[in-house]
Structure 1
Amino acid sequence: MSGHMSPSEIARLQAALRRLLDAKGLTVNPAPRAGMSVELAVNGEVIGTVHRDDEDGDVSYAINMVVLEEDLPPAQ
């Protein structure tokens, strides 16, 4: 896996994810520091990471999303 994504690639991925998930507040943010993952956020809150895979010449993106139990609504 290769984590490096160009600004153009990040913008294209963000546009695709906004369309697919119908989420205008979704952003794909460059890695905050070298060696860190690209971040996925909604309305400014980081909800996961994006990993670029270019194995065998086919490029794909894997999203690891984290939802904390404390962010869930109360049980009914």
Structure 2
Amino acid sequence: MKPEEIKKLDAYFKRTFNPQFVVKARPRKNDSAEVYAGEEFLGVVYVDDEDGDRSYNFSMAILDVDL
């Protein structure tokens, strides 16, 4: 993802969910970014660019010990 795209996603996550959310670029990956709540890793947001329609998919695993 381009830096300006990550900035837009960062603003969206802050506005929609929590101001402490941070979206960061992933090392050696250009199709996704990592999402954190402060320093805690939450999940990965993937970009899907199919037929010129760009969309995003957020994936977050929840461990049973965290429930």
- What TM-score, normalized by structure 2, do the two folds share? 0.86
Q: 1:34 aligns with which of 28, 31, 36?
A: 28
Could you say which structure has the larger radius of gyration?
Answer: 1
Q: Which has the higher contact order (CA 8 A, sep 6+)?
A: 1
> After TM superposition, what 4+ stretches of structure 1 lie above 2 angstroms from structure 2?
none
Q: Could you tell me which runs of 5 or more consecutive residues in structure 2 were left unpaired when the two chains were aligned.
A: none
Match of 1:14 in 2: 10
When the two chains are superposed, the root-mean-square deviation of aligned CA atoms in Å is 1.5
Other-structure match for 2:64: 69
Q: Which runs of 5+ in 1 are unaligned?
A: none
CA distance in 2: counterparts of 1:29 and 1:43, whole angstroms = 11
Residue 51 of structure 2: SS of its match in structure 1? helix
Contact 2:22 2:35 in 1 (8 A): yes
Looking at secondary structure, tell me which structure has more strand per residue. Answer: 2
Q: Deviations over 1:22-65 (max 9, x none)?
A: x011011100x214742111111111111001111111110001
Matched letter for residue 55 of structure 2: S
Percent of pairs with identical residues? 38
| Corresponding residue for residue 24 of structure 1 | 19
2:43 counterpart of 1:59: no
Are the structure 2 counterparts of residues 64 and 42 from structure 1 closer, same or farther at C-alpha, using a change threshold of 3 Å?
same
